[in-house]
Amino acid sequence: MPPPYPNTNENYNMSTRLLGRSPRETVPRPFLPPTLRHDERFARAIVGTGLVSFDALLSEDDPPVFLIERAKGTSAFLLTCDHAGREIPHKLASLSLSEHELSTHVAWDLGVAELGRRLSARLDAFLIMHNYSRLVIDANRPPGAPDSIPTLCERTRIAANEGLSSSDARKRFEEVFQPYHQRIRDELDARSARVCPSVLVALHSFTPVYMDEGRRWHVGVLYGRDPRLARLVRKGLRSRSSRPQTGCQ
């Protein structure tokens, strides 16, 4: 009997879990329209049929892993917000943290989603925002790194993440981390195929006080190997900040 779900490389782990196969086994690969390949809703619908046994972390009631604005944006800029959201899968019961703790920078980057939306609108740029808290699994850390699934963030202990089994950690990776990064890869690949230039800008915010130490910077600009854009942004920000402020600010 063929597997009742799209069997692509991306959802391979999910399919092998559904069938109880070992990850090294191969299964037939039926034709699948490209638009469905990474559609998590499809996987959830399969689970919703009740015809398969599936111990997924996310349920149909959980919000989507990521949000996208201006999917057809014409700008070369591709904006990402790794820490835009503070959702927690229902099964994790808020990680036993209070609403106050989950409202602080411990759980997400305050204000970065709005920054992303405004930049996306001004630039007509593709924007992708991760919807789940970094406390579930950090979209900005390599999987397996000590702070990938943090047990301590500044002074907040996340006891629910302590002693996590490899199976539970894997579910967070497969269901919360991987779909977001796969979507970014897909977008970059699609642009390359269309010979469209891409400038990937990762947006973050940082708390003005960390471990009782004030941070005097208003903005930080980081770059990898190519400093050209960072220099231009820094120059632009400096010229703006030297202008006299007007109105109520």
Instruction: Please report, as ranges, the residues that interact with Zn ion according to CB under 5 A.
Output: 83, 109, 204
- Please report how close the Cβ of residue 204 comes to Zn ion at its closest, in angstroms: 3
Q: By Cβ distance, which residue is nearest to Zn ion?
A: 204
In the complex with Zn ion, the residue whose CB is nearer, 133 or 182, is: 133
| Rounded Cα distance, 177 and 99, in Å | 23
| Rounded Cα distance, 246 and 249, in Å | 7
| Rounded Cα distance, 104 and 19, in Å | 40
In the complex with Zn ion, the residue whose CB is nearer, 191 or 204, is: 204
- Please report how close the Cβ of residue 90 comes to Zn ion at its closest, in angstroms: 24
In the complex with Zn ion, the residue whose CB is nearer, 38 or 172, is: 172
For tokens 């897909």, the residue is 186
In the complex with Zn ion, the residue whose CB is nearer, 115 or 160, is: 115
- Please report how close the Cβ of residue 203 comes to Zn ion at its closest, in angstroms: 8
- Please report how close the Cβ of residue 178 comes to Zn ion at its closest, in angstroms: 18
- Please report how close the Cβ of residue 140 comes to Zn ion at its closest, in angstroms: 6
In the complex with Zn ion, the residue whose CB is nearer, 14 or 112, is: 112
Strand partners, 81: 129
- Please report how close the Cβ of residue 92 comes to Zn ion at its closest, in angstroms: 20
In the complex with Zn ion, the residue whose CB is nearer, 215 or 238, is: 215
